[in-house]
């Protein structure tokens, strides 16, 4: 301001005036562009637009694309599309909607929910757009409507495709199911791909590969006469069907796994250790996906979701359990590799273990202990004392570092929704999660796969595969890709300075199944091949220091979980399995035989016939 | 002709011109053009409402109110207005923050501020407060502004635009941003800064596309680029609007005879898409006439800016006119499918009152700038 007398106001005026002239030019240019646009619309393309406005009695009808088919690795169909019939109404063509609904109610069964959805959809669409009143009419309803249809202008029975799962409840947690898109999903979706009537994958593969399976919506432009009856289809943008998807799953093995689980709650996962291909993924109890497609009402759905045993819960990827002793080969290997335990070092297992300055006594599962014992037999006989001592020597953070390399405490990234990571605790984890310091005693619990540690069954199967591959991780996956290369694993390969340790760890697992004192020796007898395995019996409730576990005295939901991991043949692994049975008691008596049966089914019956029937995608 | 040339009539006309221009400080030409426009608005709205008179009456009342406000603003000499610019800007900024904070508690988008007696939209007033502020700020230092002044100016624009964008009200944010940027441009924002700015936007856009937008928002942009992608949903409006305009042809279907309008095919036909109704019923010739009218108002406004006597007035008049220009052309561009649908009304024709007040106040300021010139200095 004080320098105003130095300013050349005339110069500044000319400057701004120059800009004003520029703006006038700009306005003229923009106006010219708009005039050009109007001329294009109103003069050049007049005939076209005039015609379109003339017959603006065009009804636009979305055509749902046929959803992609899901098959297993043999090409057996797991999810397909079947014809069904919907009852639709074009509100514009109806004089008295309420009266119509009343009359229709006498012909087909209309629930309050049907009506509510209809009114809502109607409010959201234009009067000449069709609105679905009832989905999936029964054959009888279709026949009745065919009889009476002349009485109801604006009412149509529309054929469409509905999802069907030929295997019913089998593999329901893998395949998942589709159901009608809800408001929230519709809002977040690409509107050009979904309509009110569209279906969308809700769980499993149907959800994970929704993008590929869905395809592209088609649109029919239907010309109607004055009363709105369709005269002809003017133009049709055909829908683009969704992509078919082939899974690595083998339905025969899947059913064998489901049969092995009998009526237990639990999960079995079988992987191909070389590739990470999921051969079977069973979670029990199961649900019937066909029931879900047509849409359950809220009460039925809630009842199903909250049913005892939670049939909608995929235990294989979402269930978190203390893994128990199946972690011992991994931790033992880490102990040897870090030289916290000598290869030939033995300890004297007396059945109890104490920490200095801690009053609590830790017990071995076997009262009286195992006597003098080294690495191999500690795994094979599942000696707890050995691993208490090892854990104490390593400390929780070193354990965390090593177990994390096997994938414990992390989601595997398997291509199914809602996988949970589980927990591999550390001092840092406890500080940030619970805001508490780590106590040395807690390290001992984690040493036998208890305490804060939680794993999902799929994690255990992936870890078993990594052991089978001597440190090469795999990516568990269900999508059978065209190219031979399996998906890149999330984990880094684990290389040991002393490669012989891998053999030592695997041998200890073979000893578990085939050794004279191995905890799983019952399944090892008379096998034409060797299984490397490890049992686990994980506590659901903590026992007091002097309490002893008495299965019969404990209510079922507090009984131990039975766990087993294995791969076979031990020298050339072609299948890796993880079994978890909720409240199943001991790993050796309940879980191990299930794993053995799945392994046997694969190695002796299925594997050979399999390569031949692989379908190129 | 003979009447107009009679001496008595000439005197009467001279007297009324004197009253309007010297006493009321109104600009005769601008007033005539605006009145013509408002008249067209009434005619089109009557048709858009399907022959209902009640809502049209409401519109007329609002236009009348706008004229009063315009007259009030025309009385304020620009030199008196200038010192109030930062004060007004500061107050509206505080209101904008208040709206945002209260919106937080209310849950969801809120634009209105309730001061007990009156409810108003601070973002609406910002359309005027920002160009005022910018003109005041840039006129204080030599023109063209230095890099530092330019950067400060950009910040002055970014703050209110950001606050309004957060409401979220993208249409208004766009207009406010354009209003501020117009003043900066008039003050002589150097070309290289302009290029730099465009370069920056071009660099950020793809990143924003991938990380800053939801899938459905991307879908909306794609739908603008190709409405036929979603002919049942978002693309529907623009397709039907284009059918309406195109089917109007050279002469139009005639007043009250637009089938697209009357059969409910044009969306929001009283507000944002009112131009489609006009184009359908009055055809290409009508469109040319309407555009000429808008262009004439814009040119008059820019002429006023050109003739203004100080930098503040020049920048302010130019900024106000350019804001009006953005309004007109963005609206016509969006209904004809040249620009994406952002939800801006067509000035003085669209139904709805919130924008008419600021618009007319702006014209009042324009007239004040013109009529309060010191005649001896030109």
Give this complex's ipTM.
0.88
Closest approach of chain B CAs to the CA of A578, in angstroms? 38
Closest approach of chain B CAs to the CA of A125, in angstroms? 9
CA distance A569 to A212: 36
The reply to whether residue A16 touches residue B143, judged by beta carbons under 8 angstroms, is yes
Closest approach of chain B CAs to the CA of A108, in angstroms? 29
Is pLDDT at A543 greater than 60 in this prediction?
Answer: no
> Of A575, A544, A557, A332, which Cα lies nearest the Cα of A468?
A575
A327: DSSP letter:
G
Question: Catalytic one among A325, A382, A538, A588?
Answer: A325
**What is the pLDDT at residue A228?**
46
Helix (H) / strand (E) containing A199: strand A199-201
CA distance A229 to A104: 19
Binning pLDDT at 50, 70 and 90, where does residue A235 land? Answer: confident
Which residues does A404 contact at the CB level (< 8 Å), separation at least 6? A410, A424
> Of B249, B204, B148, which Cα lies nearest the Cα of A45?
B249
Is residue A325 flagged as an active site residue?
Answer: yes
With contacts defined as CB-CB under 8 Å, which chain B residues touch A33?
338
Is pLDDT at B366 greater than 70 in this prediction?
Answer: yes
Residue of A nearest to B227 (CA): A192
What is the value of pTM for the model shown? 0.59
With contacts defined as CB-CB under 8 Å, which chain B residues touch A21?
306
> Of A400, A420, A425, which Cα lies nearest the Cα of A410?
A420
| Mean pLDDT value across chain A | 87
| Structure confidence by residue, pLDDT tens digits, A267-300 | 999 999 999 999 999 999 999 999 888 777 777 8
The full set of domains in chain A, from first to last, is 61-246 (3.90.1310.10), 251-286+314-608 (3.40.710.10)
- DSSP, collapsed to helix, strand or coil, labels residue B306 as helix
**What is the pLDDT at residue B114?**
63
In the predicted model, what is the mean pLDDT of residues A46-53? Answer: 86
Chain A to chain B Cβ contacts (< 8 Å): 153
- Give the pairing of strands A230-237 and A218-224: antiparallel
**What is the pLDDT at residue B119?**
59
Binning pLDDT at 50, 70 and 90, where does residue A4 land? Answer: low
| Mean pLDDT value across chain B | 84
CA distance A283 to A268: 7
Residue of A nearest to B187 (CA): A16
What's the 3-state SS for A590-601?
Answer: HHHHHHHHHHHH
Which residues does A510 contact at the CB level (< 8 Å), separation at least 6? A530, A531, A532, A570
Query: What part of B 116-145 touches A (C-beta under 8 Å)?
Result: 140, 142-144
| Structure confidence by residue, pLDDT tens digits, A146-198 | 888 778 888 888 888 889 999 999 999 999 999 888 777 777 777 677 776 67
> Of A511, A503, A512, A424, which Cα lies nearest the Cα of A467?
A503
Q: Is the peptide bond before A285 cis (omega within 30 degrees of 0)?
A: yes
Q: Is the peptide bond before B344 cis (omega within 30 degrees of 0)?
A: no
| Structure confidence by residue, pLDDT tens digits, A319-350 | 999 999 999 999 999 999 999 999 999 999 99
With contacts defined as CB-CB under 8 Å, which chain A residues touch B264?
127
The reply to whether residue B246 touches residue A15, judged by beta carbons under 8 angstroms, is no
| Structure confidence by residue, pLDDT tens digits, B195-251 | 887 888 778 777 777 776 666 667 767 776 777 666 666 677 888 888 889 999 999
Is B20 or B348 the better-scoring residue by pLDDT? B348
**What is the pLDDT at residue A1?**
47
Is pLDDT at A617 greater than 50 in this prediction?
Answer: no
Contact in structure between A463 and A408 (CB atoms under 8 Å): yes
Residue of A nearest to B317 (CA): A20
Is pLDDT at A426 greater than 90 in this prediction?
Answer: yes
Q: Residues A451-475, buried b or exposed e (16+ Cβ, 10 A)?
A: bbbbbbbbbbbbbbbbbbbbbebbb
Is pLDDT at A374 greater than 90 in this prediction?
Answer: yes
* B325 near A CB under 8 A: yes
Residue of B nearest to A61 (CA): B232
């Amino acid at each position: 301001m004080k320098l105003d007398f130095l300013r050349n106001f005339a110069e500044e005026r000319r400057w701004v005036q120059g800009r004003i002239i520029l703006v006038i030019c700009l306005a003229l240019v923009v106006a010219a562009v708009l005039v050009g646009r109007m001329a294009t619309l109103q003069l050049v393309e007049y005939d076209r637009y005039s015609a379109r406005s003339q017959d603006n009695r065009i009804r636009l009808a979305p055509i749902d694309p046929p959803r992609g088919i899901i098959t297993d690795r043999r090409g057996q169909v797991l999810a397909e599309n079947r014809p069904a019939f919907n009852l639709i109404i074009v509100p514009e063509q109806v004089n008295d909607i309420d009266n119509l609904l009343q009359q229709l109610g006498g012909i087909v069964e209309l629930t309050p929910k049907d009506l509510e959805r209809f009114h809502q959809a109607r409010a959201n669409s234009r009067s000449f757009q069709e609105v679905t009143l009832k989905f999936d009419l029964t054959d009888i309803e279709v026949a009745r409507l065919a009889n009476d249809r002349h009485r109801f202008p604006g009412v149509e029975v529309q054929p469409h495709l509905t999802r069907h799962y030929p295997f019913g409840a089998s593999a329901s947690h893998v395949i998942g199911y589709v159901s009608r898109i809800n408001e929230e999903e519709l809002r977040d979706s690409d509107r050009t791909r979904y309509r009110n009537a569209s279906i969308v994958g809700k769980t499993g593969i149907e959800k994970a590969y929704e993008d590929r399976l869905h395809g592209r919506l088609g649109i029919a432009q239907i010309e109607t006469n004055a009363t709105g009856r369709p005269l002809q289809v003017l133009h049709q943008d055909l829908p683009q069907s969704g992509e078919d998807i082939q899974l690595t799953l083998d339905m025969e093995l899947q059913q064998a796994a489901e049969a092995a689980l009998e009526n237990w709650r639990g999960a079995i996962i079988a992987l191909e250790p070389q590739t990470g291909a999921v051969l079977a993924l069973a979670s029990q109890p199961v649900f019937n996906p066909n029931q879900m497609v047509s849409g359950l009402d809220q009460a039925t759905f809630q009842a199903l979701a909250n049913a005892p045993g939670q049939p909608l819960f995929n235990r294989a990827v979402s269930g978190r359990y203390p893994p128990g002793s199946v972690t011992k080969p991994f931790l033992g290997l880490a102990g040897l590799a870090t030289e916290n335990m000598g290869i030939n070092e033995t300890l004297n297992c007396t059945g109890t273990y104490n920490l200095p300055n801690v009053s609590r006594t830790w017990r071995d599962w076997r009262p009286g202990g195992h006597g003098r014992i080294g690495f191999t037999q500690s795994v094979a006989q599942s000696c707890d004392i050995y691993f208490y001592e090892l854990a104490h020597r390593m400390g929780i953070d070193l354990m965390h570092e090593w177990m994390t390399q096997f994938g414990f405490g992390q989601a595997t990234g398997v291509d199914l929704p809602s996988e949970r990571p589980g927990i591999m605790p550390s001092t840092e984890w406890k500080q940030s999660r619970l805001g508490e310091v780590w106590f040395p005693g807690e390290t001992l619990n984690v040493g036998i796969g208890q305490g804060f540690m939680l794993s999902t069954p799929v994690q255990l199967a992936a870890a078993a595969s990594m052991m089978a591959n001597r440190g090469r991780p795999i990516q568990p996956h269900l999508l059978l890709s065209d190219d031979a290369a399996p998906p890149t694993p999330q984990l880094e390969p684990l290389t040991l300075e002393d490669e012989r340790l891998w053999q030592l760890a695997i041998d200890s697992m073979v000893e578990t199944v085939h050794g004279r004192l191995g905890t799983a020796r019952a399944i090892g007898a008379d096998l034409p091949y060797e299984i490397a395995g490890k049992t686990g019996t994980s506590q659901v409730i903590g026992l007091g220091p002097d309490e002893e576990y008495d299965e019969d005295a404990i209510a079922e939901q507090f009984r131990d979980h039975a766990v087993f991991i294995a791969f076979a043949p031990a020298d050339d692994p072609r299948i890796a399995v993880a079994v978890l049975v909720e409240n199943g008691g001991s790993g050796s008596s309940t879980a191990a035989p299930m794993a053995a049966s799945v392994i046997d089914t694969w190695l002796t019956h299925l594997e050979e016939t399999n390569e031949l029937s692989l379908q190129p995608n | 002709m003979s009447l107009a040339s009679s001496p008595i009539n000439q005197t009467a006309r001279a007297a009324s011109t004197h009253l309007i221009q010297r006493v009321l400080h109104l600009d005769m030409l601008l007033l005539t053009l605006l009145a013509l426009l408002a008249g067209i608005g009434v005619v089109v709205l009557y048709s858009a409402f399907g022959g209902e008179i009640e809502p049209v009456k409401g519109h007329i009342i609002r236009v009348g109110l706008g004229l009063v406000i315009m007259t009030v603003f025309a009385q304020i000499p620009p030199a008196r207005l200038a010192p109030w610019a930062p004060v007004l800007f500061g107050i509206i900024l505080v209101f904008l923050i208040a709206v945002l904070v209260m919106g937080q508690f209310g849950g969801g988008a809120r634009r209105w501020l309730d001061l007990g007696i009156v409810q108003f939209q601070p973002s609406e007033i910002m359309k005027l407060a920002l160009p005022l502020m910018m003109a005041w700020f840039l006129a204080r230092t030599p023109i063209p502004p230095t890099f530092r002044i330019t950067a400060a100016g950009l910040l002055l624009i970014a703050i209110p635009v950001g606050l309004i964008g957060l409401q979220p009200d993208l249409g208004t944010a766009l207009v406010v941003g354009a209003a501020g940027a117009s003043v900066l441009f008039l003050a002589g924002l150097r070309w290289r800064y302009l290029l730099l700015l465009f370069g920056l936007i071009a660099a950020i856009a793809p990143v924003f596309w991938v990380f800053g937008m939801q899938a459905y928002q991307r879908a909306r942009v794609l739908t603008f680029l190709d409405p036929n992608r979603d002919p049942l949903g978002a693309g529907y409006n623009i397709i039907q609007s284009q059918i309406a305009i195109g089917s109007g042809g050279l002469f139009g279907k005639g007043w009250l005879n637009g089938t697209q309008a009357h059969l409910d095919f044009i969306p929001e036909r009283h507000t944002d898409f009112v131009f489609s109704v006009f184009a359908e019923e009055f055809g290409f010739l009508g469109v040319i006439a309407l555009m000429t009218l808008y262009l004439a108002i814009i040119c008059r406004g820019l002429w006023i800016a050109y003739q203004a006597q100080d930098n503040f007035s020049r920048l302010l008049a130019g900024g106000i006119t350019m804001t009006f220009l953005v309004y007109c052309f963005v609206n016509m561009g969006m209904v004809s499918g040249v620009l994406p649908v952002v939800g801006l009304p067509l000035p003085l024709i669209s139904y709805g009152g919130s924008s008419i007040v600021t618009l007319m106040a702006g014209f009042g300021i324009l007239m004040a700038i013109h009529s309060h010139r010191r005649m001896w200095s030109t």
